[in-house]
Structure 1
């Protein structure tokens, strides 16, 4: 049975990954970890946005901080996943 990723790669003309089942498991665990971190950052960000609701400057600053934090998590996610993919 093909994963959704494999089907998408076929549809868009890319090559499916040559990862071992163990690597796929590790990649999935990394995704779960960082999905949770991003969700937590968004949740906490919404709380900070609510507190800053009456100050436009503070709202913009909080939005920027949230975006930076989420981008950082996504970079770390991709870095960790690339390390797993490089292991042979």
Structure 2
């Protein structure tokens, strides 16, 4: 007798079978991740420095604003990254 987990996994495989990626496809996805991670790191460094300067100057309203901007920028970069990867995956799914 199969467990509920095994039955759920079978249904999942029937509805959307897993896709095996080639080394080239994995590399392309990795390059996208690396590119966006670099953009995020660059933005974090810049804004963290700005936050530190604002805090040292006693501009706490600016600190809060910059922290919100940092959060929004990181989320935007993550969403852009996922959209770019999805677009790439959709291209692979099209029949040649």
TM-score range, shorter chain: 0.7 to 0.9
Q: Is 2:77 the partner of 1:84?
A: no
User: Mapping of 1:8-23 within 5 angstroms?
Assistant: 17-23=19-25
Partner of residue 29, structure 2 = 27
How large is the RMSD of aligned CA atoms in angstroms? 1.8
Deviation at 1:16, TM superposition (A): 5.5
Relative CO higher for 1 or 2, CA cutoff 8 Å, sep ≥ 6?
Answer: 1
Taking structure 2 as the reference length, the TM-score comes to 0.71
User: Cα gap change, 1:44/1:16 in structure 2, threshold over 3 Å: closer, same or farther?
Assistant: farther
Using the size of structure 1 for normalisation, the TM-score is 0.76
> Does the Cα contact within 8 Å between 1:19 and 1:85 map onto a contact in 2?
no
Gap change, CA 1:20 and 1:46, over 3 Å in 2: same
| Structure number, greater radius of gyration | 2
> How many residues in Structure 1 have an aligned counterpart in Structure 2?
76
| Map of 1:59 onto structure 2 | 63
Distance 1:49 1:43, change over 3 A: same
Unaligned 5+ runs, structure 1: 1-12
